[in-house]
Structure 1
Amino acid sequence: MSASTSGGGGGPLSPQAAAEFEEGIGLVFGRWTALQMAVENEWGGRDSRAKADQLAASIFSWFANSKGPFNYEDLEDMMFDSISDSFNADFEDGSVGEVAKHLLKMHEECLQSNFSSIEKLRNTRPQGNAVSQSRQIANEDDNSSSDDDDEPSMGEDEAARSEDMAVDEPNPSRPTPDADGWTTVPPRRGRGRN
């Protein structure tokens, strides 16, 4: 997706639009779960928050100092490189591309003095538990080797039910009696369903 700009080469943002866009970048970053996890867990060291702020400033500068048209792949590549350099991480959850698309759309709107998407972000608070939910999902993925790939974002209740089902149904990856005759006994919560 390549965002086109209006008029000869796009022109710069007005001072009001530039201020709105800069705030919008911060609002988007505040809701970007992968980035917030990187900051909270200090993947970039003690100055992880400053590195996230620098990433936002670099993106704003990229838009402010480029003539356009603004290319999605260029923005996404720049974001991937910055995240890799700053946090020694690769966000492979697709969020970099989503954020890049959102920023391109937001910039296009700001060029037209349309600040509705920024206003919407301003009026909705980020989910306070997004980071802890993501951490829980990541931990579930790390702790299980035979998850179905069809359900990447299982909730807590669904994960518990899934574990119960795994206890009740024969699972070829779960050992039966070993060479010494010992058998692993399933947890009690799986009993009483037959």
Structure 2
Amino acid sequence: MDEFRAGVTACLRSWSALRTAVQSGWGGVDSLAKAEYLRQHILEFDFSAMDCMDLEDNLAIFMEEEFSVVLEDDSERQLAETIWRMYEQCQQGDTTLARQMVAVAETALAQVEEYPVQVQSTECDDDDDDDEAMEADEAPTLVPAVSAGTLSARDYANQYLFGPPRGSQLPTVPEGPVRQLGEAAPPAPEPEMDKDGFMTVTTKGRKKK
């Protein structure tokens, strides 16, 4: 399914809602990582048990929860329908649509680089200039992808969507079960006492800069 993975990569790269959200840092410092998570989520989507509307809902919910973006242009529906058709065709050995999406993405990204998106600020944004400046400094810089013409479908799909996430790796999931909302915190360990009856204190080393 390398062609399908390449097609999904191309679709997400040319999705202006996602690209603008990442470029503007609306997902915080992990915006690039969240885009990678979205691609992985789509690639792991259960196409046999779900339908196109489920995929559409997933896209809209992800954008709202992770980037605080409420889509009003029905772009999530168009994207879901394209990915769904692409999956069905690739399952039948027809990779025409997947390759077309890669070609479309190449053209779209070339236009974006020539005419970058300008994000307009609102009146509410003007009330907090310091926060705006901080977010602008933390907003990720999108890295141009290597041209698909020089890559195989597998290599194209293995590229980052918009650039390496912070730390060049996705956040790791902590070991053990996550404490649920309302669940009491685990009890603190009992202090260690030395032979003279004094408490043993462990100091943290200063982090190296």
- Please classify the TM superposition score into its range, dividing by the shorter chain length: 0.5 to 0.7
Percent sequence identity over aligned pairs = 27
Hey, which of these two has a bigger chunk of helix by percent? 1
Deviations 1:114-171 (A, max 9, x none): 10112223334133344886845x74xx79xxxxxxxxxxxxxxxxxxxxxxxxxxxx
Shift in CA distance, 131/39, structure 1 to aligned 2, threshold 3 Å: farther
Per the normalisation by structure 1, the TM-score is 0.55
1:88 and 2:68 equivalent?
yes
**In structure 1, what is the Cα distance between the partners aligned to 2:88 and 2:96?**
12
Q: Do residues 127 (structure 1) and 109 (structure 2) align?
A: yes
Cα distance between partner residues in 1 of 2:59 and 2:116:
21
Post-superposition offset of 1:21: 1.2
Secondary structure of the 1:43 match is: coil
Counterparts of 1:93 and 1:113, CA distance in 2: 32
Determine if the alignment matches structure 1 residue 102 to structure 2 residue 82.
yes
> d(CA) in 1 for partners of 2:45 and 2:101?
22
TM-score of the superposition, structure 2-length normalised?
A: 0.51
Give the secondary structure class of the aligned counterpart of 2:41. helix
Aligned alpha-carbon RMSD (Å): 2.6
- Relative to 1, partners in 2 of residues 1:23 and 1:117: Cα closer, same or farther, differing over 3 Å? same
Inter-partner Cα distance in structure 2 for 1:80 and 1:131: 26
Would you say how many aligned residue pairs link Structure 1 and Structure 2?
A: 121
Q: Structure 1: how far apart are the matches of 2:87 and 2:62?
A: 20
Higher relative contact order (CA 8 A, sep 6+): 2
Stretches of structure 1 that go unaligned for 5 or more consecutive residues are 1-17, 144-194
Tell me the equivalent position of 2:53. Answer: 73
Question: Counterpart amino acid of 1:46?
Answer: V
Runs of 4+ aligned residues of structure 1 deviating over 4 Å after TM superposition are: 131-134
